[in-house]
A and B are shown apart, each in its own frame.
Chain A
Amino acid sequence: MAQTQVPVAPHGGSPAPHPPQAWKWYDYFTFNIDHKVIGIQYLVFSFFAYLVGGLMAVALRTELLTPDPDFIDPTLYNAFLTNHGTIMIFFWVVPAAIGGFGNYLVPLMIGARDMAFPRLNALAFWLNPPAAALLVASFFYGGAQSGWTAYPPLSLITAKTAQSMWVLAIVLVGTSSILGALNFIVTLLKMRVPSQRWDQLPLFCWAMFATSALALVSTPVLAVGLGLLLFDLNFGTSFFKPDAGGNVIIYQHLFWFYSHPAVYLMILPIFGIMSEVIPVHARKPIFGYKAIAYSSLAICLVGLFVWVHHMFTSGTPPWMRMFFTVSTLIVAVPTGVKIFGWVATLWGGKIRYTSAMLFAVGLLAMFVLGGISGVTLGTAPVDIHVHDTYYVVAHFHYVLFGGSVFGLFAGIYHWFPKITGRMVNEPLGKLHFVMTFIGANLTFLPMHELGLQGMPRRVALYDPQFVDLNRLCTYGAYLLALSTVPFMINMVWSWIAGPKASGNPWNALTLEWTTASPPLIENWEVLPVVTHGPYDYGMLDYTNGRPYTEPAEQEA
């Protein structure tokens, strides 16, 4: 068994004529076609969006300190709740997970010099800033106020200009998502270094493949639904106007046919990040590589046939309620396979308590609860009681905050040395984790009871009997807001003045760690040769040194 990664391949494709040695800071603000630049652009851009969406959540929670609508105007409250959801989904989790980590890591993990279509890739990113600008501008017209779901007829009669801008913004990021998905699929199929077999593909790449396939199938349907909504809003059509023969339920089908798979778009890449972070920091092979790889595909397939569970109390015939109850429950099986696989990976490991690992294990802990509450929600009899209540809010924050956001932070701490060439400050990272973990549970755990007891979601005023639990949630939200402070200090400070990172500071086995930190502009001088699996921890002989040594680390 080869113990080291010997770069023996000849020059694989001659590099572009005279690329610069390294990117300057201003290159990150240009139409740059390097996948690493684009990945960083996505990550930084989406983090700022996260801050904006988070501040909106703080305003919402402050309003809910008291049962009366006494903090902000109710229309602004609805604009905030609409854009909080929109931003967190379309401008934070999706672009950070898919655009950010996907673009940065996929070529590096498969031994490619870039994505298959670099210009398309840059174009996909640059669709995002104008979309964000549209959302910001929509606030001058009151902001869209019909929830991120934008159900007609409410969306057709409330703040119409802002709603139109919202639709255009979502269509722009949706287009970006489709272009990105196409790029990932072609890259993964065609650009792998020849020595990499499919069973040596890192699980993050499997997850990106499943995610991209799902995005490619479902996103156009959302674009259709929103396009028809735009016509109804501006051009006098009546697809969704019941008094003119339209049908409001059709919109819900079009919307959820995309937007349920969208939750898998938001979690599959995160699952991929989990499968990378846990083995490295537990020093163990991933438990059940094939099961985890194929369960991504299974989730992707079954995930296309569950969307009606968002419509159990809507205009949904009985047989459909039952069909989609069963299909929804089935998704729990492949998801469980992943969870159990990660827990089993911990068994017998030598677990490093790094910030990345803490966030990954925190995700496990949170996601288990979100998954269980998801099973209860997936059954029509219970959903008829708790649909559109805080129980749902609790559930999707456990899977989207406890899942996706924890996973994004795990990924950021894990790949920060690779991306910046510097180490993060671990004590600050741990402080960030503790605050986030306590804050998230304090915010979202009491919401289960609120929903079961009878508090609907998306309300600015509520029954005074719920005031105590709401206070608790709000204090948790404040703690969450504060938790970003040590994170931001850590990021800025470590990026500027953190200790220099070697090419492979975690002694990890995937290909991105075979190049320098930060990687060269075309990723490698000489393309690497894959000689072992991505998770062969404990199987390699380290007596002659670490599995990968950094080839070009001497530059300052």
Chain B
Amino acid sequence: MQQVPVSLLTLVAGVLVTLVSLWVGQATPLFPEQASEQAPLVDNFFRLMLTIGTALFIMVEGAIVIFMVKFRQKPGDETDGEPLEGNLSLEAFWTLVPAIIVIILGVYSVQVYTEMGGFAPGGLPEMAHHHTHPAPTVEMVAHQEGAGMSAMPPQAKYGIGANPSERGPADLTVSVSGMQYAWIFNYPDGIISGELHVPVGKRVQLNISALDVIHSFWVPQFRLKQDAIPGQPTELFFVATRVGDYPVVCAELCGAYHGGMRTRAVVHTEEDFERWVSENRIAQAPPDSEGLAIHLH
């Protein structure tokens, strides 16, 4: 143990482990597609950990396999091995290196978490009603009062807020209620939907609540999840980055049909979203209005 052979073989093994780890970390196909601004942040962080983890995995498992083969009992040898009781520098090495790695990961995770908006739930300015965005559509007015049936306290303490570098009101605020076994989305202007529809590239805030038991709102492609908690408002803030049709999954056991509590999160282009809003506003208008004629579904 004292003379660790720093041979060419060790060097080659080291390079190989590094290359394989980098390859596994970068090329892993384990994720669904990225559809929110937070998704690449989470994925890059995971890839970093996967790279380090793969290197560690190969080294430890490799050591186990090599030692098991190399130091197996030879037939007829009933003696003991060499009595090595420890090695202070080696032990210090494998205490300090993991300690440094986890400290780096800890600091990095705080940074990723900050960029994700983790430190800003409920952090939207109170006076969020003057719009600086060019030509916001009527539907996108932030924080309309009377948004549906569930009266939501405006400030949620828990959840994921906006990235601190881009302060400002959300372009679209949707109230999300979880119940056994469905999600109800309340839009400004009284649109009620069983599906989440959002425009791509816009700042969306979900005010999440639960009517009966705990549910958990999860869109895997957004890499975002937040429990819907009875009695305590929570929120998610995101910008969808890719047009598409994604699953909304309930991730907290909520009863016998928990697995069936699924719906869609549809990310539209801005025009498609406006069309969806106007269609639904007409469709959901009181029956004595003109809306009945152009009911699409």
CB distance from B219 to the nearest CB of A (A): 9
CB distance from A162 to the nearest CB of B (A): 14
CA distance A341 to B213 in the complex (A): 46
In the assembled complex, A537 has its CB within 8 A of some CB on chain B: yes
CB distance from A424 to the nearest CB of B (A): 18
Q: Is the CB of A350 within 8 A of B64?
A: no
Interface residues of A in 354-411 (CB under 8 A from B): 361, 364-365, 368-369, 372-373, 375-376, 379-382, 384-385, 387-389
Among A343, A448, A536, max chain B CB count under 10 A is at: A343
Q: Is the CB of A329 within 8 A of B64?
A: no
Q: Is the CB of B84 within 8 A of A285?
A: yes
CA distance A3 to B261 in the complex (A): 68
Q: Is the CB of A145 within 8 A of B256?
A: yes
Q: Is the CB of B113 within 8 A of A381?
A: yes
Find chain B residues with CB under 8 A from A182 CB: none
In the assembled complex, A190 has its CB within 8 A of some CB on chain B: no
Q: Is the CB of B214 within 8 A of A349?
A: no
Tell me the nearest residue of chain B to A327, going by C-beta: B106
**Interface membership of chain A positions 524-543, coded 1 if the CB is closer than 8 angstroms to chain B and 0 otherwise:** 00000000000111110010
In the assembled complex, B141 has its CB within 8 A of some CB on chain A: no
Among A314, A317, A325, A537, max chain B CB count under 10 A is at: A314
Specify which of B30, B53, B86, B234 is in contact with A288 (CB 8 Å cutoff): B86
Q: Is the CB of B113 within 8 A of A154?
A: no
Interface residues of B in 100-143 (CB under 8 A from A): 102-103, 105-106, 109-110, 112-113, 116, 118-121
Interface residues on B, range: 35 or more
Q: Is the CB of B253 within 8 A of A287?
A: no
Known A-B contacts A75-B256, A153-B230; A285 and B251 likewise in contact (beta carbons under 8 Å): no
Q: Is the CB of A461 within 8 A of B227?
A: no
In the assembled complex, B249 has its CB within 8 A of some CB on chain A: yes
CB distance from B117 to the nearest CB of A (A): 10
Interface residues of B in 58-106 (CB under 8 A from A): 60-61, 63-64, 67-68, 71-74, 77, 79-87, 90-91, 94-95, 98-99, 102-103, 105-106
* A contact set with B: CB distance below 8 Å: 69, 73-75, 77-78, 145-147, 151, 153-154, 157-158, 242-243, 246-249, 282-291, 313-318, 321-322, 325-326, 329-330, 332-333, 336-337, 339-341, 343-344, 346-353, 361, 364-365, 368-369, 372-373, 375-376, 379-382, 384-385, 387-389, 448-449, 452-454, 456-463, 535-539, 542
Nearest 3 interchain pairs by C-beta: A242-B231, A459-B259, A454-B220
25 contacts between A and B (CB under 8 A): A73-B256, A75-B256, A78-B258, A153-B212, A154-B254, A248-B232, A288-B86, A315-B157, A343-B60, A346-B71, A347-B67, A350-B72, A350-B73, A351-B67, A375-B102, A376-B49, A376-B53, A379-B106, A381-B116, A452-B31, A456-B249, A460-B259, A537-B80, A537-B83, A542-B79
* B contact set with A: CB distance below 8 Å: 1, 30-32, 41-42, 45-46, 49-50, 53, 56-57, 60-61, 63-64, 67-68, 71-74, 77, 79-87, 90-91, 94-95, 98-99, 102-103, 105-106, 109-110, 112-113, 116, 118-121, 157-158, 160, 212-214, 216, 218, 220-221, 223-227, 229-232, 234, 247, 249-260, 262
Supplied contacts A336-B95, A344-B87, 13 more A-B pairs, CB within 8 Å: A77-B256, A242-B231, A283-B73, A315-B158, A318-B113, A333-B98, A352-B73, A375-B53, A384-B42, A385-B224, A385-B225, A458-B258, A458-B259
